[in-house]
Amino acid sequence: MNYPTPLRSMLVAGLMAATANLAAAQDLAPLNSDVEPDRIDWSQLEASFGPMPTPADGTRVGGVSKTLTNEYWRSLGIGYQSAADASNVGFAYQAAPSEGDQLGQLSIAENMILQGYDALLMSPQTDNNLQPALESALSEGMVVVNVNDAVIPSVAQYVGNVQRDNGVRVAQWFIDNAEGGKVAVIEGQPGVFAAGQRTDGFTATIEAGGDFEVVASIPANWSRETAYDAASTILQQHPDLIGFYANNDGMALGVVEAVKAAGLADQVAVFGTDGISDAYASIRAGDLTGTVDSFPVLTGEVAMEVALRLLAGQDLPRVVATPQALITADNIDAYAVEDTAALRATLLAE
């Protein structure tokens, strides 16, 4: 088939990008997205690589998410779709029924590969469950971007925030606002990079920062109900506890329920991670102390931009870092905006 010259150039650029992606994935050191030196901040993409290139007609991007039962991943999809619409790109978004259905998520990714998308945006449930899909996609010439929060070690491109910093920010709040005491962590799913980094960031920082003791650190597998049960047990064992850090907001809201049931709401501070709307509402209600918002809609927009730049043949850094902020009652109004253009302006002004 004879393609028009501009389209032919875009197709060649996309093929070259996919070939480079495959070669890089075969020769890259295992990725630690928090400390990878080959990185750029989301806000520097246009300054460093120019305006968004115009995608070739018919470009299609697929998104493979953890689950749509968690608002964070639904919001990420909204960001993907918004950026796809702005560039006139076809987009489809699918996810496993639950956040623990690793084989179901792999099956979705493999089906998308068979459908011939030009690029895949993948958010694995664990660091390893989508490795076979990554290898298959690259062998088919697809561009693959790993988007929050588990990390496939051999992936060539990653978009997301610094996971360790989520825990560090919460620990620093305790150091700044309490003289010491017992705290606990409700972890996410074992084997997920983000869960390990968030937990370690919190634990290492708070233990080094004052007279604090982490008396329990228990996985709740991203489940609100499991987090409630775990927190109830911890509070029975340590009624003098002063705070919890949960690896996501769903679990944090379960912890809030356990704290209120124990009659300790005035004593125990509770923090989550993600910045979902229910977390914002709970902060306004005076129940949840805070959350670390990683701005999923904005993250989705940035990830789609990265995929389209790669398809255009741009040689981007391995990691594109996206923003985050500790949200409490003191600053909630500054970040509680639905317009991502306004949010971008707020973040860029910091």
E strand or H helix at 96:
strand 90-96
State the burial class of residue 178 (Cβ atoms within 10 Å of its Cβ: 0-12, 13-18, 19+).
middle
For the chain, percent helix, then strand, then coil, each to nearest 5?
45, 20, 35
What is the CATH number assigned to the segment(s) 5-158+296-321?
3.40.50.2300
Per-residue pLDDT of 181-193, as tens digits, reads: 999 999 999 989 9
Q: Which CATH architecture has domain 163-293?
A: 3-Layer(aba) Sandwich (3.40)
Compute how many other C-beta atoms are within 10 angstroms of the C-beta atom of residue 228: 21
Has residue 252 got a pLDDT over 50?
yes
**Which single residue is written with the structure tokens 């060649």?**
12
Domains 5-158+296-321 and 163-293 alike in fold: yes
Residue 26, pLDDT score: 55
Distances (CA, A) of 172 to 44, 162, 245, 268: 27, 16, 12, 16
Average pLDDT, the chain: 92
Which region among 21-25, 127-131, 217-221 has the lowest average model confidence (pLDDT)? 21-25
Domain locations along the chain: 5-158+296-321, 163-293
Has residue 11 got a pLDDT over 60?
no
140: alpha, beta or left, given left = phi > 0 and alpha = psi -120 to 50?
alpha
Q: Which two tokens stand for residue 38?
A: 């080959």
Beta bridge partners of 217: 185
Per-residue pLDDT of 71-93, as tens digits, reads: 999 999 999 999 999 999 999 99
Has residue 215 got a pLDDT over 80?
yes
Calculate mean pLDDT across residues 151-162.
Answer: 97
- Tally DSSP H helices, then E strands, for the chain: 13, 13
Has residue 12 got a pLDDT over 80?
no
Calculate mean pLDDT across residues 92-96.
Answer: 97
Per-residue pLDDT of 45-65, as tens digits, reads: 999 999 999 999 999 999 999
Calculate mean pLDDT across residues 308-317.
Answer: 98
Calculate mean pLDDT across residues 250-270.
Answer: 98
E strand or H helix at 200:
helix 193-208
